[in-house]
Amino acid sequence: MKKIATIVSALMLVSAVSAYASGPGPFYAPGDYVSPNWTPGDPSCALSLSAGVWSGSIAASVGAGTYQGKVAVAGWSESYPASNVALFITGSGESIAWTFDTNTYADGWLPATDIVLTDHSYPAGITWEAIGAAPETGGWGSGVAMTQSGNIWSVTVNIASVGSYDVKWRKTGDWSLNVGTDGVGTNANNFNYTTTVPNQPVTFQFNQATGRSRIVVGGVPGTSNRTWGQVKSAK
């Protein structure tokens, strides 16, 4: 019963509260995709605030390619996320829609606040994998494929040994785009989770539409479990 209650509480969604972890701004979305590049404070990359969310559509001044940007205040005393955001631009003249959500959420998904996302954050056809310290997540060598249902990518893995482990998600086979506690980036911060019994199922989930993730120790009902033997045989 205790295990079931823990899972249910982890699945409950709680509305956002009006709290702001970042400073008052104003915020900008500089990067190498716009000119002048990497210049927070320039009007060309200014964002506007509404209900705790800074947003804006910034015209790129480059052609097709992979670029980087982030959200920052003038002078760089604050910037988000911890690493840069990758931008996948398919042609000249495109506009990048940025959002920087400074509301604080208590729904178990991370980031809980200061969430950066763009409509150019992922290349077409992207797939994701979980990769981390536990042998069942590849020991940082190779990942475990996540499966997609709507906007949610997930995988449940049985972790054999009790312990505390780091993990993150990445574009399959490619560290240039990954996801951690600070959201989607080029070098995101690791997640951490702790198992309490041997062979405990752990569900890793990523909402591609929001850029937020969660880990549910004990597993999420309805997701398929993969043992270490199944993971190894799939490689």
Burial class (CB in 10 A: 0-12, 13-18, 19+), 75: exposed
Q: Is residue 143 part of a domain?
A: yes
162 and 73 assigned to the same domain:
no
Residue finishing a domain among 94, 121, 148: 121
Q: Is residue 9 part of a domain?
A: no
151 and 114 assigned to the same domain:
no
pLDDT, tens digit only, all 235 positions of the chain: 333 333 333 333 333 333 446 888 999 999 999 999 999 999 999 999 999 999 999 999 999 999 999 999 999 999 999 999 999 999 988 999 999 999 999 999 999 999 999 999 999 999 999 999 999 999 999 999 999 999 999 999 999 999 999 999 999 999 999 999 999 999 999 999 999 999 999 999 999 999 999 999 999 976 555 544 444 444 4
Q: Is residue 200 part of a domain?
A: yes
The CATH code of the domain that includes 191 is 2.60.40.10
Residue finishing a domain among 121, 136, 170: 121
Host domain of residue 70 = 14-121
Cβ neighbour number for residue 156 with a 10 Å cutoff: 22
Cα 133 to chain center, whole Å? Answer: 18
- What's the number of domains the chain is made of? 2
72 and 159 assigned to the same domain:
no
Q: Please, what's the largest Cα pairwise distance for the chain?
A: 58
Q: What whole-number distance in Å separates Cα of residue 166 and Cα of residue 232?
A: 19
pLDDT value, residue 223: 56
190 and 104 assigned to the same domain:
no
134 and 53 assigned to the same domain:
no
151 and 67 assigned to the same domain:
no
Kindly provide the residue ranges of all beta strands, DSSP E only, lying in 7-105, ordered along the sequence: 48-50, 53-59, 65-72, 79-89, 95-101
Q: What is the pTM of this model?
A: 0.85
With b for 16 or more beta-carbon neighbours within 10 A and e for fewer, the 185-213 pattern comes to bbebbebebebeeeebbbbbbbebebbbb
51: helix, strand or coil? coil
Residue finishing a domain among 121, 145, 176: 121
Q: Is residue 162 part of a domain?
A: yes
8: helix, strand or coil? helix
177 and 216 assigned to the same domain:
yes
70 and 166 assigned to the same domain:
no
